[in-house]
Amino acid sequence: MQLYNTLSAEERAELIDQAGKQRLTLSFYAYAKIEDSKKFRDDIFVAWNALDALGRIYVAHEGINAQMNVPAENIEAFRETLEVYDFMKGIRLNVAVEQDDHAFLKLTIKVRHKIVADGLNDDTFDVTNKGVHLKAKEFNEILEDPNTIVVDFRNHYESEVGHFKGAITPDVETFRESLPIINEQLQDHKDDKNLVMYCTGGIRCEKASAYFKHQGFKNVFQLEGGIINYAKQIEEEGLESKFIGKNFVFDNRLGERITDDIVSQCHQCGKPCDNHTNCVNDGCHLLFIQCDDCKAAMENCCSTECQETIHLPWEEQVKLRKGKQVGNKVFRKGKSESLKFKHSGELSDTALATAPTRGGAERSGAKSANIRQKIKVKKTLVGKAEHYYVKAQVGLFTIENQELNLGDKILISGPTTGDQELVLEKMIVNDTENTLAKKGDRVTFAVPFRVRLSDKLYKILD
């Protein structure tokens, strides 16, 4: 019985491209009492893996939190796997505003202590005693009430690119930080104000609404289904959007546009921009906002130090990041002294610019070319990267499949390198210049960009 992934992100992306079938990006959550969370985790992994469902899912004794990408043709079968459990019967699936077949490239289901870390150790706290759920129209109406206080229960890097007008946007990096801060700020308004809260998909503000009811607040409300569901409802019902900007999402897209307002700046040059990126330096992975010009000039790096680091020999880079924690903490690292135009805390409701549209289709701004975009060229896997000689700008590859010929058009692809095309004009095969490389050969040739060990070598087919 397979309980874990066996394919890399690149291999999964390749299979998705070859299948050429529509996939739906969605999210859902449910608070419930799950007695054996480990068994529950294994059972849903087997069921969802069989349906080619991918995503990031957290399971705990208090419930489930899932962000997923499912083949459209399997969506009803996927619903059936949820209906097996009483607490997920009739559950709402928040379908993303913008779709991306590569939103997730692995099925990762982790068992945690809680599905939303809250820092609370109170046995009397009942997470199911939640506030009143409001649909988009009701939410818009209550925002007009002068006795309403609206609070954003997301983190600073999420609210910076988009938020509801007039909302309190705490300068926090985690949900658990926001609870005591807001509780202290609003102590004098437990009885006379409407406490209205929102988050991305509803899971955080549902726990927050229960927490503030537990703290004695009388009029507690939350946006049903979060910003994702709000965006869907305002479009279907023709309502005014009280939300401005982009909704940050925790998948490879890093955001989906709700309105054309750009309310944030490139953290490096100050130009209006709301596209998040992760620093390409594997010893950093800082999450920050970067415009296309700075992305090109800084080579996807957050600082000159990181830019210098990525050009060091791979062995030196490994030594420099020894002992540092990156990767899973990438979304928490949204602040740095090297970012001159970073804003958090009290944010403006005034747009700095309007996002460009691309023929009325792509509204989320420029996307960097990487493995997460759908690769439209026909190609076949030839080999993998073994080393990159920085000073000489030469890549070393092992041929594992097919043959490589002089004059072939090739594609070097990886999660950091992206998709880079070249024409093979000269190559050294097993230390001798040659026009043909076969399976098992080691090949070197000039590559005018950084190659990494995770990169794959493809031959582009006519």
The catalytic site residues sit at 199
CA nearest to 284, candidates 325, 339, 340, 337 = 325
In whole angstroms, give the CA distance from residue 450 to residue 245: 34
Give the contacts of 36 (CB within 8 A, at least 6 positions apart): none
Neighbours of 319 (CB within 10 A): 11
Eight-class DSSP state of 102? T
**CB neighbours of residue 225 within 10 Å:** 25
The Cβ-side half-sphere exposure at 153, using a 13 Å CA radius, reads 32
In terms of DSSP bridges, do strands 23-31 and 63-71 run parallel, antiparallel, or are they unpaired?
antiparallel
With H, G, I as helix, E, B as strand and everything else as coil, classify residue 391. coil
